[in-house]
Structure 1
Amino acid sequence: MKNTIKHQYVVALLLSVITCSTMFSQNKSSKNFSIDEINTKVDSILPLLTLEEKVAMCHAQSKFSTPGVDRLGIPEIWMSDGPHGVRAEISWDSWDYAGWTNDSITAFPALTCLAATFRPELSAQYGMSVGEEALYREKDVLLGPGVNIYRTPLNGRNFEYLGEDPYLASKMVVPYIKGVQKNGVAACVKHYALNNQEHWRNIINVEVSDRALHEIYLPAFKASVQEAGVWSIMGAYNKVRGQFACHNELLLNDILKKDWGFDGVVISDWSGAHSTEESALYGLDMEMGTGTDGLGTSTANHYDHYYLASPFLKAIKNGDMDEALVNDKVRRILRLMYRTNMNPNKALGKINNKEHHDVARKIATEGIVLLKNENNFFPIEDKEGLTIAVIGENATRSMTAGGGSSELKPKFEISPLEGLKQRYKKAKIIHAMGYHTGSSVYDNIIPSNLNQDSLRIEAIATAKKADIVLYVGGLNKSHLQDCEGDDRQSYELPYNQEELINQLKAVSPKLGMLLVTGNAVETPWLSKVDGLLQTWYLGSMAGHAIADVVSGDVNPSGKLPFSFPKKLKDNGAHFYGEISYPGDGTNQYYKEDILVGYRWHDTKKIASQYAFGYGLSYTKFSLSNIKADQNKYNTKDNITVSCSINNTGNLEGDEVVQVYIGKKNSKVKRALKELKGFNKASLTKGESKNVSISIPVSSLAYYNESISDWSIEKGDYLIYVGNASNNISKTIKISVQ
């Protein structure tokens, strides 16, 4: 049905291009229309639309599309979930999969892995590749990336986001968006804003200070708008200061559209709209998902009964609302179309090609983080006579399935076990599951039908036969794990994995672990493992990437994009009790304020298990000759921090220089230090490289609540240069005048 309708619109559009030169003339001088050309075309179309047609464009006609206007050749808008790949085709009126045989794609690593690369140029390749796949699938809007800040390790959706630091998230999201949109596909950055937990996500009201809002939770969204020029934004489910985020006067009208100058489309999260009046007045442009049965079992769920459908039309006709409200929404929607499906210069897209697989593998290998490596457990040499026991369900479990709306249907998915078997030609690989968790679709949990004791006994017996044991454990993408719809209920590893690790150590002196998660976990078992790799959810090429690092073909260079607290109470969101997380069922208060993640650990002097920015290598690095270009700066200056990175080990590798800055004797509450710059460099054995990082003095500003604007304090600052937030090689004092 979709293809037939869409092709009809394409034909109508082509005829319109030929016959209506005023509306659809091609831009001969450049690949894409300029914003002035787009606005001129939009203004010429708007008077041709009836009120009914304009209102219809503001709400869904199916699960993932909005209607066009066929009499004018205006096409439908088609969307797909992201951000790790293009989701399989969904049925018109239900959440059932459509059962297509030609909608398989490349699954890219989760965004936590992308953030861990600390490599913005890889983010650009990621965005370009997934945008090409969306274009091939004829999608106009890719619903991603996600930039909600990692506030608590229990958030079921953290794996879709870019970590706990707003600067890192901003630097990584901008090239992703630009890469997607080079294809004529709109990125849709989400979930705006303060959607930092899944538990009670549809009802919880978030109360947060202006400083925390602007300094922690909004910067990546702001960068998406002002630096990347994102074409669409998805509202969040939760309330913010009493109003739902999908129609929120402060977030959408005041900040997004007025202060930041956003000229794109605000799309509701599915069923995120709750009121015709507020949707019309407070910034929502396109309503999706209201009534999950679509045109199915009840007329109450009919698309014409959406809040921005018949009730909106009636209010305008009755004079209760100004037609200017719908005109603004339609202008934005038409502007989106000229950037996407009404751009005559779009390419055709690509899917499942070698280049995309290579990008996925490169991101996966660069994002894997080496957390522990006693006695050089890793890398493991491939040699005759060696037996490696690979233990754990996560060695074979699909990690592209599940997780909620980000689940994917890849053409293939290389499991860790398969990847290791393909790489290790001399050593013998044996496997046992160890435990089995069953599966779930959102909150529909299907328990395992296997005997857990038998699986554990088999695993111990298998480990006894091996020279080395690799335990592949962690979380999965089932309900109450790394999954949309609710949060984790415990910080510990689930399914009695700690007991299994202890029993494996009792029979194997050489035990390493591949931790497959999108979240931090408690690690009371840490002393039992000699080596520990954080491997994330890595998509289609997962097994190959893991084997690359385990074997030493690739030297790990990932850095943690969030902290691992030793105990849950060591995390700032949990320190203040239930009113801070998860709230009382109605309200929650972000009582840790601006002290999120490493800011909390540093400022409160609470040691983390693993710090933000931490990650080991198979080689060794040192930083030397660390300096700033001067001692005194004015507010319009740039601070240039330079240093030498020295590879003092025996292997080629990559190191990330991280620059943090803190204010001494500040008149306002501050974190001890905040990330303000980083540079990832590749060095051969014995090589030294000079790197420099430029930091605008303006980036040292804090959000001044007394004037509702940014202020730069004069006085002394400290620059911290190191390779992790808790591993600083040198501190430099400067002053701002």
Structure 2
Amino acid sequence: MTLEEKASLCSGGTMWTTKPIDRLGLPSITLTDGPHGVRMADPNSGLNGLNASLPATCFPTAPALAATWNLDLIREVGEALGQESQTHGVQILLGPGANLKRSPLGGRNFEYYSEDPLLSGSLAAAWIKGVQSKGVGASLKHFAANNQEWERMAGDSIVGPTALHEIYLRSFEIPVRLASPWTIMCAYNKVNGEFASQNKTLLTDILRDDWGYEGIVLSDWGAVDDRVKGVEAGLNLEMPSSGGYNDRKIVAAVQAGELEESILDQIVTDMVAITLQAHAGIPKDATFDEAAHHALARRVAAEGAVLLKNENATLPLSEKRDRSIAIIGEFAKRPRYQGAGSSQVNPTQLDNAFAELTDMLGSDLSLTFAQGYDWEGATTPEQLHEAEQVARVADHAIVFIGLPDSYESEGFDRASLELPEGHNQLVESVAAVSKRTTVLLMNGSPVAMPWIDQVDAIVEAYLGGQAGGGAIADILTGAVNPSGKLAETFPQRIEETPTYPNFPGRDRTVLYGEGVFIGYRHYDAKRLEPLFPFGHGLSYTTFELSELELSGKDIEADAGLELKVTVKNTGSREGAEVVQVYVGENDPEAPRPVRELKAFKKVFLKPGESQTVSLQLYRDAFEQYDAEREEWIVRSGEYTISVGRSSRDLPLESTVSVDGGKLPLPPLTPMSTFAEVERHPTGKPIYDNFIAQMQGDQPKLEDLNLSPDDYAAAKKARETMLVFLREIPLQKLVMLSQGAFTEEAMQGIIQAINSAESDSFSD
């Protein structure tokens, strides 16, 4: 290839394609959104694909997918998306989104799975495996620490090393290691001072060197800042086309000796490999079954619906009790079924809950409707009066509410947890006159529920995709027993969330001051009662968890641990329970989460049926990232294993003693303190000798003929000085000691201790 040809492969050719090299027979590839449906630009729209797309199945959005906690089902969705990608001629499908939900106000939370890295990463891996099983590449996004929409193209995410590795990178590491995505999309923002598109620490040191990633990295659309630095850092592809602007910069940098051509060669080699791999998987005359995919979307939406509250078995609807039903709310006929922004899909068809309920309930039951509010959530006295009238005479009122597009979208963050005021007014008005009231929520992220004690049942249907209306009917009528579990915490108040009042970060700085304490980790550490906890979800049947068994009580971390627990369906309906396993260190050296999700499994059981579930905990279930050592470690000690139905419903508990092996002490540096010298086994004698020398230069208090009070004061002063001395960095003591402690002495101490510690650990 010529230098110019190499550079041409480093950027897109159009909005959605890469550049071909006709001379070499190298074709272009097509990329398109998105995470819950193939948003393939309509070639006849004349709108460059941003506002019009070909019909495709609109599957439920990420929160609903995550609420299934069903990896096999998510893989099935991925397979369907891969098949539709083939049909539309797409080689790279831009998804899934593995960013974590740092705040419930994140504007793009409807594209992301969870607040927990294990759950998010596991779901992303299943999605990727499904898509790529069809010969279509996935694009894991947005790498990394991209958790707000405000100033998203300019903001700098300042994340400490422990939180970065344990939380924000872990949700990407899991799918990279388990599913090998063909591509990874870097984020717009900076991470610790450097744009993600040119962040060598992220794109090379961590992603490729530590995790062994072998695919390509592409930019989010318009995320490139300095293209030459991006090449050096490991960014293969800039999207979309820059009209040759950045290609020329790459050529000029190589010609000027500012960019090694060998680095460019590796970037281009990866691009060629992905291009050839993508074209090798293109089938001839690919098609997909629209009806089958719609049915799958309905099944997923139903399994992702979460029954939050169900007092006195209000749901499912009863033919004997609920002879007349009032359906109230615009969303019942005109559903909010997907998020707003780049991921919007043109559905092949669209169900609505009112029509589906009418079909399922037939003519035996009376079904009435009141609009309640307009599309933006505003209501009027006339609409409230109509809703009250139909609710008053009905046996059961079902109120459909949620968030309009204008409340949550890519491009901006939510202003508050609140629903439109008209929605709250409607619920309160109906609940005041209705015999029983169910609230059906359509939204992409948690909302406040000021009326929660006034209603009998609440179903969180999320943004359920094109078949969400049918899925809602399945849940309400009992055709499907709800089994969804929240993949995020619903807070009582925004003031109690982990990032309040610092979300979103402004002035181009986003300080992740909460560290690892996001989501349920925060609520547990602060002992706050959420509105609904992480992992929560009710069923129309009941389950019992019992007989927790561990494969050992004293284990080595590398050996792992097997858990067995018996799950029994003690109710009268077939249903599913999610067994959740949490691990917490009993006596941590520094503040740690009380417990963290480390394993889960969904179990389907018939009435009266029981099953013994086996789950495996590996070394990473006990690991934590040590910032001083810059590596993952396991601290030896006692760990509590908790098993249950949510992060706050954990009936089974046991402890295990874990041997993490010998930990190398962090190497000493000039900024190490004398306290750190003392903690090193080989440093203790050096420290004791130094203190003895210092004290030897001082007269003994006993020889000073002091009064008892003066003696006590002088002794206290010397002890305080010793404490002060212990916390002074060695280099500072060189400057403060006026020659008593030299730089040569300091370097001798550092070298002696570091070399002795290294030899000890290698032995």
TM-score above 0.5: yes
- C-alpha separation between the residues in 1 aligned to 2:39 and 2:130? 18
Quick check: 2:110–2:339 contact (8 Å CA) kept in 1? no
- C-alpha separation between the residues in 2 aligned to 1:363 and 1:261? 33
Task: Tell me the equivalent position of 1:61.
Answer: 13
- C-alpha separation between the residues in 2 aligned to 1:136 and 1:633? 51
Q: Does 1:504 align with 2:434?
A: no
Q: 1:723 to 1:100 in 2, by over 3 A?
A: closer
Task: Tell me the equivalent position of 2:374.
Answer: 436
Unpaired stretches in structure 1, ≥5 consecutive residues: 1-48, 291-301, 439-447
Amino acid at match of 1:582: P
Task: Tell me the equivalent position of 2:480.
Answer: 554
Q: Does 1:564 align with 2:490?
A: yes
CA displacement 1:500-520 (0-9 Å, x = unmatched): 211111221211011111211
CA displacement 1:506-562 (0-9 Å, x = unmatched): 221211011111211111110111000110111121111111111001110110000
**Corresponding residue to 2:292 among 351, 355, 365:** 355
Write out aligned runs for 1:399-548 (5 A). 399-400=336-337, 403-425=340-362, 426-438=364-376, 452-476=380-404, 478-479=405-406, 481-548=407-474
Quick check: 1:385–1:428 contact (8 Å CA) kept in 2? no
Q: Does 1:328 align with 2:260?
A: no
Task: Tell me the equivalent position of 2:244.
Answer: 304
**Corresponding residue to 1:390 among 319, 327, 331:** 327
Quick check: 2:13–2:240 contact (8 Å CA) kept in 1? no
Amino acid at match of 1:606: L
Secondary structure at the residue paired with 2:557? coil
Task: Tell me the equivalent position of 1:377.
Answer: 314
Quick check: 2:427–2:439 contact (8 Å CA) kept in 1? no
**Corresponding residue to 1:117 among 63, 68, 85:** 68
Secondary structure at the residue paired with 2:204? helix
Which of the two has higher C-alpha Rg?
Answer: 2
Q: Does 1:195 align with 2:146?
A: yes
Task: Tell me the equivalent position of 2:712.
Answer: none
- C-alpha separation between the residues in 1 aligned to 2:163 and 2:42? 38
Q: 1:313 to 1:645 in 2, by over 3 A?
A: same
Task: Tell me the equivalent position of 2:125.
Answer: 174
Deviation at 1:277, TM superposition (A): 2.9
Q: Does 1:50 align with 2:2?
A: yes
Deviation at 1:76, TM superposition (A): 1.0
Secondary structure at the residue paired with 2:466? helix
Write out aligned runs for 1:616-655 (5 A). 616-655=538-577
Deviation at 1:150, TM superposition (A): 0.9
- C-alpha separation between the residues in 2 aligned to 1:337 and 1:608? 48
Q: 1:321 to 1:303 in 2, by over 3 A?
A: same
- C-alpha separation between the residues in 1 aligned to 2:271 and 2:297? 32
**Corresponding residue to 1:210 among 143, 161, 165:** 161
- C-alpha separation between the residues in 2 aligned to 1:62 and 1:452? 48
Q: 1:392 to 1:263 in 2, by over 3 A?
A: same
Deviation at 1:717, TM superposition (A): 0.6
- C-alpha separation between the residues in 2 aligned to 1:96 and 1:338? 26
CA displacement 1:218-249 (0-9 Å, x = unmatched): 11211222110111011111111111112212
Range with bigger deviation, 89-98 or 651-660? 89-98
- C-alpha separation between the residues in 1 aligned to 2:220 and 2:49? 19
Q: Does 1:282 align with 2:233?
A: yes
- C-alpha separation between the residues in 2 aligned to 1:384 and 1:573? 45
- C-alpha separation between the residues in 2 aligned to 1:374 and 1:366? 21
Deviation at 1:382, TM superposition (A): 4.2
CA displacement 1:184-232 (0-9 Å, x = unmatched): 1110010001111112211211111111111111112112221101110
Quick check: 1:183–1:349 contact (8 Å CA) kept in 2? no
Quick check: 1:106–1:352 contact (8 Å CA) kept in 2? no
Secondary structure at the residue paired with 1:539? coil
Secondary structure at the residue paired with 2:301? helix
Task: Tell me the equivalent position of 1:89.
Answer: 41
Task: Tell me the equivalent position of 1:37.
Answer: none
Amino acid at match of 2:349: F
Deviation at 1:57, TM superposition (A): 1.5
Q: Does 1:163 align with 2:85?
A: no
Q: 1:182 to 1:385 in 2, by over 3 A?
A: closer
- C-alpha separation between the residues in 2 aligned to 1:289 and 1:460? 52
Secondary structure at the residue paired with 2:167? helix
Q: 1:54 to 1:605 in 2, by over 3 A?
A: same
Secondary structure at the residue paired with 1:610? coil
Quick check: 2:489–2:530 contact (8 Å CA) kept in 1? yes
- C-alpha separation between the residues in 2 aligned to 1:171 and 1:524? 34
**Corresponding residue to 1:78 among 27, 30, 40:** 30
- C-alpha separation between the residues in 1 aligned to 2:45 and 2:11? 14
Q: 1:304 to 1:716 in 2, by over 3 A?
A: same
Task: Tell me the equivalent position of 1:592.
Answer: 514
Quick check: 1:471–1:511 contact (8 Å CA) kept in 2? yes
Q: 1:210 to 1:92 in 2, by over 3 A?
A: farther
Secondary structure at the residue paired with 1:613? coil
Deviation at 1:387, TM superposition (A): 2.1
Quick check: 1:63–1:90 contact (8 Å CA) kept in 2? no
Q: 1:235 to 1:93 in 2, by over 3 A?
A: farther
Q: 1:465 to 1:95 in 2, by over 3 A?
A: farther
RMSD: 2.0
- C-alpha separation between the residues in 2 aligned to 1:153 and 1:626? 34
- C-alpha separation between the residues in 2 aligned to 1:385 and 1:123? 35
CA displacement 1:343-374 (0-9 Å, x = unmatched): 47x46543343332232122111111110001
Q: Does 1:231 align with 2:168?
A: no
Secondary structure at the residue paired with 2:564? strand
Amino acid at match of 2:250: F
Amino acid at match of 1:212: A
Q: Does 1:735 align with 2:657?
A: yes
Range with bigger deviation, 152-161 or 273-282? 273-282
Q: 1:243 to 1:91 in 2, by over 3 A?
A: farther
Amino acid at match of 2:415: Q
CA displacement 1:119-150 (0-9 Å, x = unmatched): 11111101111111011100011000001001
**Matched residues, number:** 658
Q: 1:245 to 1:91 in 2, by over 3 A?
A: farther
Amino acid at match of 2:358: K
- C-alpha separation between the residues in 2 aligned to 1:122 and 1:516? 21
**Corresponding residue to 1:152 among 85, 103, 109:** 103
Task: Tell me the equivalent position of 2:532.
Answer: 610
- C-alpha separation between the residues in 2 aligned to 1:422 and 1:393? 19
Deviation at 1:118, TM superposition (A): 0.9
Quick check: 1:383–1:427 contact (8 Å CA) kept in 2? no
TM-score under structure 2 length normalisation: 0.83
Quick check: 1:264–1:332 contact (8 Å CA) kept in 2? yes
- C-alpha separation between the residues in 1 aligned to 2:192 and 2:510? 10
Task: Tell me the equivalent position of 1:441.
Answer: none
Quick check: 2:316–2:475 contact (8 Å CA) kept in 1? yes
Q: Does 1:338 align with 2:289?
A: no
Deviation at 1:573, TM superposition (A): 1.4
Q: 1:245 to 1:99 in 2, by over 3 A?
A: closer
